Structure 1
């Protein structure tokens, strides 16, 4: 090769650096014919995908073989234009469409700069969570009483940790909160409910893309409590010592197993004394616990006679409280006095019989009588197949335990 040709080849080398030599791909093979004046590679043309432009990437005046998608500043969250690289034109087109979808969903492409991301405090997140729950209450997806309970549970949490950024919650802080609450005499059940509510607020924050994960800790151990189940004889004695104006109400709890709120909010238009029925249903001012709680209570003839003497207008409450036009709200003092007068004790101490215990008594009495579990669930207003009925309401009675033990003793026989 002559010196002139070598000189021309050295000058042409930078221009041919990005030229492909495979004729099956683009850009096509460039054939050289000597003498060569200038050789310019054939470059693909840029194309538009919506507001984005995809073009071949060029470095030092030479195509690199890759493609770039230019994202203008008005489509990025940071306010600065971005350049996204792709290995081929086809992938550049697909990537541009994905970028446009992200802009449509998030209002921009990319992430905000770190200095612009201010994590809200736990109190601020809790405020927005409460507003969201209020919307659920208005839509009928959550009971108002449940939201009121949540507000009471949130109060000590926000007092202790409300000033902290929500992403600074840690297991150690939650453990310290549990120790602090236990130190002021709060029961483990109460503390566990508060921690569970805090996890619920954090889960909502994760859904809103405020934080990345939920921080929680172990539940405090709870000592098992001996269930309080009255015998039918004890129930009769208790009912005898209940004040006369409260006796039909307590009798209704005993023989139907309904919840306290269901009985207290019962109106006369829901009661049919001729048929011996009372309908638990949703109203504009009150609603049952769940859709399975909507059911018909069966009333005994004795209870119907006692209620017929109290019947007034259809819109009035069947069991009015001390204030006119308001339902009965608390009978714990009367229950405690009747328990003392009836002499109901457990382990040598006066039993603490609460209205909710009568619901468990009803479920246990029905199960002991051989009533099928599905029937008991229907009478209690539980979902079919739920484990709540057996776990929390049906309890073994002392006579049943003694009978089971006595049967085994008979099989074992006397001591040799």
Structure 2
């Protein structure tokens, strides 16, 4: 068995798990894309003859064109595949892996003007989806799996009136990676308006928003158009995933961390929230020191 055959066998197994709702379909789709990359670079090697040096040379080639964090994710999938091959008896022992360090430093968040520029220059349905993520903190893969039936009203015993909530992971066919990701997300007035507009006329089981791939394509087209202003700080860094980081940074400036973690579906006390999601931009830095005096 060569590496390509091992990758194909493993991804077929993962797809069976997704059909049984034991793993999120979005996770498997991402893993399938990574296995194609791995197959292109390492696929011809016989599984039992794969060595650390092969992986190290492939890693070096990938780092010529990809960010270290991307390559590390691909290495993690390869490690998972080889561990599975050992468990299934396809391989006696997996080879040692090279070490890849990723700097734990996040770039500054693009300016609010950069986000607004993107919203104004993509098609309406994509702008709605991107803004909805900014207002709710949903991840792109959560957003693309949301159905009409996931939105509803709930009367809180401690709060007068009604709250419009969006259920994430509440359906049997909407699995989440961790228990904390199963949650009810409150919608403010603007998010409710987007929801009503996006769901009007659709059946309960219809998906509401475009796919992640479609949103990314729309943003790339906006950058390639004549209307893009290169001088606008950070606009070309905006991605669908960055909408969730915008949300986290805004909420973090006004609410305790445990509130943000609940909204984002992070476990209480998780270091991931501040390490990877709470960011700042230059304008926030200026505002923070504007009124300081001795």
* TM class by smaller structure: 0.7 to 0.9
Match of 1:265 among 117, 142, 145: 145
Distance in 1, Cα, partners of 2:44 & 2:216: 39
* Partner in structure 2 of residue 383 of structure 1: 267
Q: Distance in 2 between matches of 1:177 and 1:342?
A: 37
Specify the alignment match of 1:298 in structure 2: 186
1:256-278 Cα offsets, whole Å, 9 max, x none, are: 11122323332222222674222
Change (3 A) 1:172 1:407: farther
Aligned to 1:355: 240
CA deviation after TM superposition for structure 1 residue 198, in Å: 2.1
Mapping of residues 12-411 of structure 1, within 5 Å: 120-182=1-63, 185-208=65-88, 210-219=91-100, 224=105, 226-231=107-112, 239=119, 243-272=123-152, 275-283=163-171, 286-309=174-197, 311-315=200-204, 317=206, 319=208, 321=210, 330-332=214-216, 334-335=218-219, 337=222, 345-346=232-233, 350-369=235-254, 371-402=255-286, 410-411=293-294
SS for the counterpart of 1:216 is: coil
In structure 2, how many angstroms separate the alpha carbons of the residues matched to 1:190 and 1:238?
24
Give the TM-score, by structure 1 length: 0.56
Structure 2 contact 106–276 (Cα < 8 Å) conserved: no
Output the CA distance in 2 between the equivalents of 1:245 and 1:163.
43
Q: Give aligned pairs, total.
A: 281
Shift of 1:388: 1.1
CA distance in 2, matches of 1:198, 1:352: 28
Deviation at 1:224, TM superposition (A): 4.9
The verdict on how the C-alpha distance between 1:261 and 1:215 changes in structure 2, with shifts beyond 3 A counting, is same
Q: Does 1 or 2 have the higher relative contact order (CA < 8 Å, sep 6+)?
A: 2
Distance (Å, rounded) in 1 between the aligned partners of 2:50 and 2:212: 42
Structure (1/2) with the larger helix percentage: 2
Distance 1:221 1:236 in 2: 30
Q: For residues 178 and 268 of structure 1, do their structure 2 counterparts lie closer, same or farther at Cα, with a shift above 3 Å needed? A: closer
Pairwise CA distance, 1:132: 3.9
Partner Cα separation in structure 1 for residue 25 and residue 197 of structure 2: 33
> d(CA) in 2 for partners of 1:220 and 1:199?
16
What does residue 156 of structure 2 align with? none
Q: Is the 2:41–2:58 Cα contact (8 Å) retained in structure 1?
A: yes
Q: Is the 8 A contact 2:143 2:209 kept in 1?
A: no
Cα contact 2:168–2:184 (8 A) shared by 1: yes
* C-alpha distance in structure 1 between counterparts of 2:218 and 2:94, whole Å: 48
Contact 1:171 1:216 (C-alpha < 8 Å) held by counterparts: yes
How far is 1:168 from its partner?
2.4
More strand by share: 1
Q: CA deviation at 1:312?
A: 1.9
Q: Summarize the Cα distance change of 1:309–1:170 in structure 2 as closer, same or farther, 3 Å threshold.
A: closer
**Alpha-carbon contact 1:248-1:303 (below 8 Å) kept:** no
CA–CA distance in structure 2, aligned partners of residues 307 and 128 of structure 1 = 40
Query: What TM-score comes out, normalization by structure 2 length?
Result: 0.75
Change (3 A) 1:137 1:313: closer
Task: Give unpaired runs (5+ residues) of structure 1.
Answer: 1-119, 322-326, 412-416
Q: 1:296 to 1:163 in 2, by over 3 A?
A: same
Q: Distance in 2 between matches of 1:154 and 1:328?
A: 19
SS at match of 2:167: strand
Q: CA RMSD in A?
A: 3.7
